[in-house]
Amino acid sequence: MRYSDIDLNSKTILITGGAGFIGSNLAFYFEEHYPQAKVVVLDLFRSNLTLSNGNLKSFGHFKNLIGFTGEVISGDINDQVLLAKLASGYKFDYIFHEAAISDTTALEQGLMIQTNVNAFKDLLDMAVAHGANMIYASSGATYGDAPSPQRVGREAPQNVYGFSKLMMDHLARDYAQKFKNISIVGLRYFNVYGPHEFFKNKTASMVVQFGHQLLSGKNPKLFENSDKILRDFIYIEDIVQANVLAMHPKESGVFNVGTGKARSFQSMVDILQHELGTAYPCEYIPNPYIGRYQFHTEADIQSTTEVLGYAPRFEFEDGIRAYAPEIKRLFEEELS
């Protein structure tokens, strides 16, 4: 579905983190709906480099871009030489900044701030110089344990990732006040799921992880009282919608992107069982994260609707139903 009538013919779009989950979905959206636009993907791409927690440093994967015909650049947003080449070699009209260290359990605070905050400032400088509207990934992690519904202005990050995203939001506000020639929009994603997340490995959504447990014939393992552990789960197509609408907002700002409805992990498994045709009994295990675990997230999306015109299209049942064929394909082609 096309979410905007803006004319992007002859426009140039940069997508950082474009081989990742959200970035690759954006790349294909623009290529499908605006074939005359020039789409440039920048991504570090995955390697064997890991963080101290054992997770990969970069989740970008070439398979997320199979079928994409735009330009692909491999590089690190911390590389000043690369950014200088981008700044001088292109004239961007829009920058979608999805690149980040997005692992909420990462312990490397300096690397997190350098990559998520300092490099963002360099990209903001490029946006100002090019006159390019900036749309960037903030995060629901900025709220930490703040009570639901989570609202902009009530942040309480509990890890360095959430802190880095909040610092990005402060930086974006400063730039938006100083430079009126562009719009700058931060989108606080809540619990996103959908195609192209598989290569995030253990940090992929529990939708695909539970889906593959079920397809392998295993009983789904849930924390005790999972019917009372609630999250605002949002399907990737609604994330794409919000990004496209943020290209020409009524005003710059930071906005929540969720459904505005909290759903339980129990309901996730129940819907998956229905869509995948399984009926395995759930196993319930003690929750080892009590005291440092969010039991309820729910995005307040009033300002997102008013300023961006955003309206979520996918209920949890709709999103999982749309995702089920891809979950099956991944199981057959990547895991079997």
Q: How is residue 95 written in tokens?
A: 């920058």
Q: How is residue 316 written in tokens?
A: 């949890």
Maximum CA extent, the chain: 58
Read off the pLDDT of each residue in 71-84 and give the average, rounded to a whole number.
Answer: 97
Sign of CA dihedral 272, 277, 282, 288: negative
Q: How many C-beta atoms surround the C-beta of residue 127 within 10 A?
A: 25
pLDDT of residue 55: 85
pLDDT in tens, 21-47: 999 999 999 999 999 999 999 999 999
Residue 228 lies in a domain: yes
How many domains in the chain? 1
* Region for residue 16 given its phi and psi (left: phi exceeds 0; alpha: psi -120 to 50; beta: otherwise): beta
Q: How is residue 269 written in tokens?
A: 């498994």
Q: Domain residues for 254?
A: 12-335
More confident residue, 9 or 284: 284
Residue 6 lies in a domain: no
pLDDT in tens, 211-230: 999 999 999 999 999 999 99
Catalytic residue, from 3, 29, 161, 235: name it. 161
Residue 53 lies in a domain: yes
pLDDT of residue 104: 87
Residue 310 lies in a domain: yes
pLDDT of residue 290: 74
pLDDT at 295 over 90: no
Q: Residue 250: CB partners within 8 Å, gap ≥ 6?
A: 306, 307, 308
**Cα–Cα distance, 131 to 12 (Å, whole number):** 12
pLDDT in tens, 165-213: 999 999 999 999 999 999 999 999 999 999 999 999 999 999 999 999 9
Q: How is residue 150 written in tokens?
A: 């989570």
Is 57 annotated in the active site? no
pLDDT of residue 117: 98
Per-residue CA distances from 163 to 106, 135, 147, 157, 166 (Å): 12, 19, 17, 5, 5
Read off the pLDDT of each residue in 255-271 and give the average, rounded to a whole number.
Answer: 98
CATH of the domain at 161: 3.40.50.720
pLDDT at 105 over 90: no
**Cα–Cα distance, 262 to 47 (Å, whole number):** 36
Residue 230 lies in a domain: yes
Residue 39: φ, ψ to 5°? -110, 120
Is 161 annotated in the active site? yes
Residue 5 lies in a domain: no
Q: How confident is the prediction for the chain on average, in pLDDT?
A: 96
Catalytic residue, from 11, 34, 200, 310: name it. 200
More confident residue, 291 or 139: 139
pLDDT at 154 over 90: yes
Residue 1 lies in a domain: no
pTM score = 0.97
pLDDT of residue 293: 67
Look up residue 299 and give its DSSP letter.
Answer: B
Residue 7 lies in a domain: no
Residue 7's pLDDT band, with cuts at 50, 70 and 90, is very high
pLDDT of residue 103: 86
